[in-house]
């Protein structure tokens, strides 16, 4: 996979591309990361890329010409152009899984009051939002998207199986995790995890994943296709909560 980021502030990605898993993935050649400075394509002698909005109003709008030229400089037949925008579709794990299968992502980071809408209408394939709030620019959302996608690429994580068990990957939240020491502040690790019985451990983790999802994010269960066994577990959890109250 190749990821090109179109931004007014490429320096914001300097430490990001050297950081932890992302840095190691780049070093290993598991994906290609490239920063494109939109200002480099400005014809203005001062390298300005913004102007006043037609019709009046506060703030400035990014001009279409430098953005268009920046896109063309990296666009290929297999490219998917994404504009990070608070007006985009909400980002989730399902979308991350889909994007991880793409060959080339071009991420456009907006600033000011946004970009000229002609770019969005004619040269952007997807608008994505990381949440229902507004940030000063698209760089942080771009980092969120990159991190969530790259970790799904083959070879990036040491244990590929860990992805399958993570929150949201299979529609449920992840089961609770424990490590050493066995007893901390007189609180012990659940005995089943120390039993060595992998069948019981797997069953316990499935139960806890459903329980955590029901307690913390019940709306996720409405989207998740529960098996007969999982439905039985969920009813057991509901009954246990009812009895406790």
135 marked ligand binding residue:
yes
Residue 158 annotated as binding? no
Q: Supply 241's token pair.
A: 């909560």
Q: Is 84 annotated to bind ligand? A: no
Say whether 134 counts as a known binding-site residue.
yes
Is 196 annotated among the ligand-binding residues? Answer: no
Any known ligand binding at 194?
A: no
8 CB-near residues (< 8 Å, 6+ apart): 37, 38, 39, 49, 109, 111, 137
Do the annotations mark residue 132 as ligand-binding? yes
Q: Which residues are annotated as a binding site for S-adenosyl-L-methionine?
A: 110, 130-135
Q: Which residues are annotated as a binding site?
A: 110, 130-135
């Amino acid at each position: 996979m190749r990821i090109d980021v179109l931004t007014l502030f490429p320096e914001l990605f300097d430490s990001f591309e050297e950081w932890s898993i992302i840095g190691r993935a780049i070093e290993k050649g598991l994906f290609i990361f490239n920063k494109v400075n939109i200002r480099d394509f400005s014809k203005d002698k001062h390298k300005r890329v913004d102007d006043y909005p037609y019709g009046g109003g506060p703030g400035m709008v990014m001009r279409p010409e430098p953005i268009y030229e920046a896109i063309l400089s990296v666009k290929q037949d297999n490219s998917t152009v994404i504009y990070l925008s608070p007006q985009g579709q909400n980002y989730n794990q399902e979308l991350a899984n889909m994007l991880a299968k793409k060959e080339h992502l071009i991420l456009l980071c907006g600033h000011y009051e946004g970009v000229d809408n002609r770019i969005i209408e004619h040269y952007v394939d997807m608008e994505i939002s990381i949440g229902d709030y507004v940030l000063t620019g698209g760089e942080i959302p771009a980092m969120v998207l990159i991190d969530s996608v790259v970790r799904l690429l083959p070879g990036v994580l040491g244990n590929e199986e860990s992805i399958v068990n993570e929150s949201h990957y299979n529609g449920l939240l992840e089961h609770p995790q424990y490590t050493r020491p066995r007893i901390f502040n007189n609180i012990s690790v659940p005995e089943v995890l120390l039993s060595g019985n992998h069948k019981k451990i797997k069953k316990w983790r499935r139960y806890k994943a459903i329980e955590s999802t029901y307690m913390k994010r019940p709306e996720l269960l409405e989207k998740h296709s529960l098996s007969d066994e999982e439905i039985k577990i969920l009813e057991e959890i509901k009954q246990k909560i009812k009895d406790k109250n």
